[in-house]
């Protein structure tokens, strides 16, 4: 596995989403490359989560197209982690095992992979604890373990650190980095500039449903191409 080599690039071709006549996303065209950590940036309400859901296939655009290089439809090997993960009322390990079961992994392989995933995120000590009583940071790491166990080619993450304290957030960030290092393409939304500076290889900046900047993070942070990009970097867009 090599960060989406089998399925990417993902191409957004004039993607739009209108709900009740209101444009939530408008005319978004972009290529999401393999290999990199792609961050979708923008202020609250810009349309980041909506764009991520469209990429993952949870929402269908009302205009334009989403195309995978794989050609024959959506790849199986994709996963998504949400800001507030939803856990089953079962043990931590049972939550991971359930996801593997849905992916067709059974028997000993399922247990072995669930345990390995918990170990990789540092939760092996609490595998048997009820998932619902875990702290926010632990639940987010469990959500990452659940996604990582599937060994996806691409992982979509929607503000995975937004409701966490700085220590828990750094822990989640390190885990996302480890998932990337192990061969998974990362596409993540955030409105956290500091995290984007640390983490992004390439960025898409969304503002009021439109794509206003798209390119390498180094170029964006050194020299944003638009007034909106400049304002975002200076913290003037809320
Ligand atoms: N199903 C829907 N019906 C109506 N409006 C919606 C729907 N989904 C999203 N919106 C609106 O679309 C806009 C973009 O929402 P979205 O959640 O994508 O923003 P975001 O960039 O992820 O914001 P945040 O940083 O707060 O998470 C918001 O104004 C939101 O209220
Ligand atoms: Mg959002």
Average pLDDT of the residues of the chain: 94
Pocket test for ligand 1, best of 25, 44, 45 (most atoms within 8 A of CB): 45
CA atoms within 13 A on the CB side of 213: 27
The packing angle between helices 92-102 and 136-148, to 10°, is: 30
Report how far ligand 2's centroid is from the alpha carbon of 83 (Å).
Answer: 8
71 pLDDT above the threshold of 70:
no
pLDDT tens per residue across span 96-119? 999 999 999 999 999 999 999 999
72 pLDDT above the threshold of 60:
no
Over residues 208-219, mean pLDDT: 97
pLDDT tens per residue across span 165-184? 999 999 999 999 999 999 99
The pair of structure tokens assigned to 48 is: 């980041």
Do the beta carbons of residue 115 and residue 149 sit within 8 Å? no
Domains of the chain: 10-87+153-233 (3.40.50.300)
Pocket test for ligand 1, best of 23, 28, 44, 46 (most atoms within 8 A of CB): 46
pLDDT tens per residue across span 42-60? 999 999 999 999 999 999 9
Report how far ligand 2's centroid is from the alpha carbon of 125 (Å).
Answer: 32
Which residue has its alpha carbon closest to ligand 1 atom 11? 24
Do the beta carbons of residue 163 and residue 83 sit within 8 Å? yes
75 pLDDT above the threshold of 60:
no
- What pTM did the predictor assign? 0.95
Report how far ligand 1's centroid is from the alpha carbon of 46 (Å).
Answer: 7
Place of tokens 């005319």: 27
pLDDT of 99 reads: 96
Ligand 1, atom nearest to 53 Cα: 18
pLDDT tens per residue across span 10-54? 999 999 999 999 999 999 999 999 999 999 999 999 999 999 999
Ligand lying nearest the CA atom of residue 192: 1
């Amino acid at each position: 596995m090599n960060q989406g080599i089998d399925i990417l690039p993902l191409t957004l071709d004039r993607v739009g989403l209108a709900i009740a006549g209101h444009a939530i996303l408008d005319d978004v065209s972009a290529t999401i490359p393999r290999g990199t950590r792609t961050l979708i940036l923008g202020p609250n309400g810009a349309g980041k989560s909506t764009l991520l859901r469209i990429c993952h296939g949870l929402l269908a655009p009302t205009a334009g197209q989403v195309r995978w290089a794989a050609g024959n439809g959506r790849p199986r090997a994709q996963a998504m982690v949400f800001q507030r993960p939803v856990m089953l009322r079962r043990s931590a390990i049972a939550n991971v095992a359930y996801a593997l079961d849905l992916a067709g992994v059974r028997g000993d392989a399922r247990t072995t992979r669930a345990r390995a995933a918990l170990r990789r995120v540092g939760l092996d000590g609490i595998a048997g604890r009820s998932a619902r009583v875990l702290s926010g940071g632990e639940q987010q790491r469990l959500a990452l373990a659940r996604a990582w166990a599937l060994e996806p080619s691409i992982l979509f993450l929607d503000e995975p650190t937004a409701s966490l304290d700085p220590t828990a957030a750094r822990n989640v960030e390190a885990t996302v980095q480890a998932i990337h290092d192990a061969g998974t393409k990362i596409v993540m939304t955030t409105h956290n500039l500091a995290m984007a500076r640390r983490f992004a290889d390439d960025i898409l900046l969304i503002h009021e449903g439109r794509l206003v900047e798209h390119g390498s993070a180094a170029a964006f942070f050194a020299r944003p191409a638009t007034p909106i990009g400049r304002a975002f970097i200076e913290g003037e867009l809320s």
